[in-house]
């Protein structure tokens, strides 16, 4: 299989506050292969972004997808994974280490910082996860 495109987003209302994640998997032609949305409880936006990455990596590995192009609107996440920024936060360090462990199981990956407007669907899923819990549905 060719590369799988993965769009990830974490959202927190307040920092910290109620948080959720959204993930979309697409093939090279833009066909949706899967979606994930999950409520995370109370956490920070940066933790939610990392949780979205971890959820995406676990699911991709479970499905046997080993070549990923990961799209995120979090420059912090993208730069930390690529080694451009050091991980200084005690809250993010274990998440970063788990992400590196999972990424090492892939054949190939790239992580791209994309403008927020190019990540609207993953953002929508993350916010739906929060809304679903807080609206009682």
Amino acid 78: pLDDT:
98
| Predicted confidence band of residue 25 (pLDDT cuts 50, 70, 90) | very high
Q: Cα separation of 10 and 52, whole Å?
A: 6
| Predicted confidence band of residue 134 (pLDDT cuts 50, 70, 90) | low
Amino acid 133: pLDDT:
75
CATH number for the domain that contains residue 88 = 3.30.420.10
Reference 70, options 1, 127, 2, 3; nearest CA is: 3
Amino acid 26: pLDDT:
98
Per-residue pLDDT of 60-119, as tens digits, reads: 999 999 999 999 999 999 999 999 999 999 999 999 999 999 999 999 999 999 999 999
Determine what percent of the chain is predicted with pLDDT higher than 70: 96
Determine what percent of the chain is predicted with pLDDT higher than 90: 93
Reduced 3-state DSSP string for the chain: CCCEEEEEEEEECCCCEEEEEEEEEECCCCCEEEEEEEEEEEECHHHHHHHHHHHHHHHHHHHCCCEEEEEECCHHHHHHHHCCCCCCCCCCHHHHHHHHHHHCCCCEEEEEECCHHHCHHHHHHHHHHHHHHHCCC
pTM summary value? 0.95
User: Which residues form the domain of 84?
Assistant: 4-134
Amino acid 2: pLDDT:
87
Q: How many domains does the chain have?
A: 1
Residue 4 CB neighbours (<10 A) = 22
Amino acid 50: pLDDT:
98
């Amino acid at each position: 299989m060719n590369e799988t495109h993965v769009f990830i987003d974490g959202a927190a209302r307040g920092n910290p506050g109620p948080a959720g994640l959204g993930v979309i998997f697409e093939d090279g032609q833009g066909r949706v292969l899967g979606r994930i949305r999950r409520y995370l409880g109370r956490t920070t936006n940066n933790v939610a972004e990392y949780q979205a990455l971890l959820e995406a990596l676990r699911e991709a590995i479970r499905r046997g997808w080993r070549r990923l192009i990961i799209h995120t609107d979090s420059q912090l996440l993208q730069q930390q994974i690529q080694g451009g920024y050091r991980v200084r936060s005690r809250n993010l360090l274990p998440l970063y280490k788990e992400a590196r462990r999972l990424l090492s199981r892939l054949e190939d990956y790239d992580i791209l910082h994309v403008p927020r407007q190019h990540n609207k669907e993953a953002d929508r899923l993350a916010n739906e996860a929060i809304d679903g819990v807080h609206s009682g549905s």
